[in-house]
A and B are shown apart, each in its own frame.
Chain A
Amino acid sequence: MRWPKPSTVRWGLLVALLVFWEVMPSTKIIPELFLPSLSKTLTVLWIDRVEYAEALVVTLYEVGVAMVIACGAGILTGAVVGGIATLRNIMLPVFSSLYAVPIVILYPIFTAWFGIGSESKIAFAGIYGFFPVMLSTAAGIRTIDPQYLLAARSMGATLVQQITRVIIPASIPTVLTGLRLGGALTIIGVVVSEMLTASAGIGYLVSRYRTILDSPHVFAAILMILVLSIMFDLLARTVERHTLVWQTAGRRERGAPTAQASTLPAPAPV
């Protein structure tokens, strides 16, 4: 028997999950308070679409600004800390330890400083996403094969050329991994802070409807956040795939040589 393709199985599982979501509550096996059916959730979402759209705009704005801060500051600090040995020895252990701190404990302070509007969410999520970006940038720069820099110097590269033509391209894969993780964390940061103290945003809708036990509205908000996170991940993956062509080029035709590969001249016996 031939196994179906992994992607077929994945889509199958998703469909099964959606069917389960629809069937279980409508047959009353699961009470609606615990899990409202998919159709009910979507109906609620459609009826209150204006409210949800407004909340989405607020959340997207906060996530966007927080990502710019997290990525910008993260890459900059990571590059400086990773590139300068003395700084790295002093700072890296500190940053690594800070990464383990549940930064959410700082959020009450941020609301005191920045109020309960978007600013406190941006500050919190920005810091939350900053650490993985900064740490992976530092790691990316630190782990560059010194042989590359030696080769570049032997070819007469100036310090600026070593940075732009060797250090940056060599560290891009690790930095992108950090950006993907950091971006996901800023989404989490924004939603969590909206749920704690806020007056707008999707997270705020979740916690407001939960207090009045309106499950369909809660699930409508959850569904939106799910879609938002998945969209971000797909976007990040597409960027990675296009930037890192050199890591994957030619891998696909390894298994079955294509017509193009066979028209290449036979390699010299090496």
Chain B
Amino acid sequence: MSAIAVDRLSHVYAGAEGGVPALEDITIGVEAGKFVVIVGPSGCGKTSLLMMLAGLRHQTEGTILCAGKPISEPDPERVGVVFQEASLFPWLTALDNVEFPLALRGAPRDDRRRRAEEMLSLVGLDGFGGRYPHELSGGMKQRVSIARGLVQDPPVLLMDEPFAALDEQTRMTMGHELLRIWSTTRKTVVFITHSLTEAVYLADEVLVMSARPGRIIDRIEVTLPRPRTYEMMATDTFGQLRERIWQQIRKAP
């Protein structure tokens, strides 16, 4: 059974003359423990698709199954979400931010504190729990976001361009860090990005989407061995994979 199964999903935004088609006939199967990256031109509906996977938005047609059960509303125990820019609450410390989902469920104070501290240490932020978001760098904020997404131990982690606001160097480091975290937690990850290099570097499989209405126009298996290293970016295989994705995006109407 796949961790995520999207079956003939379509979405139409309400509007004049029957609305605007945003997503068309999308079928995806993601095996448990895989790292899948979705790339596509701006406005192709990648983020909409991710919002639907998270249960934050409803599709017009088609079904989404997560671990065999349909997703109809947000379920943080099955799906964790990491957003584009830091969506951390500025009035809470890093530790309180990570605890937030547990606090919503009314988990006992000691348990959630311990759990949140474990997560912060997993993302490499030991000792930063007492800091407020404005006291952290961009990369550190996204580490806290990842910790928050993982704190309920969901089997699936959805990431919507989590490193888009970071500078190039931080972005590379964070990609590498994410792979380290992923390899210790073995989550199923669906990751959205604009960056082709990031896509190839991170993914087991890259899904390429067309411009609106968004369709899946190519699936590319990334055969590079794991663990990935920065040196692999200079290899022919890496370049060919990157080139193939680029060609697909370029020819997409």
Contact = CB atoms under 8 A, between A and B. Distances in A.
Contact of B131 (A148, A156, A172, A250): A250
B111 interface: no
B74 A156 contact: yes
A156 B87 contact: no
A147 B87 contact: yes
Interface in A156-177: 156-158, 161, 165-166, 169-170, 172
Interface residues of B, number: 40
Contact of B140 (A155, A250, A270): A270
A268 B173 CA distance: 10
A153 B100 CA distance: 12
Contacts, number: 86
Would you call the interface of chain B mostly helix, strand, loop, or mixed?
loop
B134 A270 contact: no
B74 to A, nearest CB: 5
Given A148-B87, A246-B92, A250-B132, A154 B104 contact: no
Question: Interface size class for chain A?
Answer: 20 to 34
Interface in B47-68: 54-56
Nearest to A264: B127
B89 A169 contact: yes
Given A154-B54, A156-B76, A147 B104 contact: no
Interface of B: 54-56, 74-76, 81, 83-85, 87, 89-93, 100-101, 103-105, 124-128, 131-132, 134-135, 137-140, 143, 148, 170, 173-174, 177
Given A148-B89, A155-B104, A161-B104, 13 more contacts: A147-B83, A147-B85, A150-B83, A154-B54, A154-B56, A154-B74, A154-B83, A155-B76, A155-B101, A246-B92, A246-B134, A267-B137, A270-B140
Interface of A: 145, 147-148, 150-158, 161, 165-166, 169-170, 172, 246-247, 249-250, 264-265, 267-270
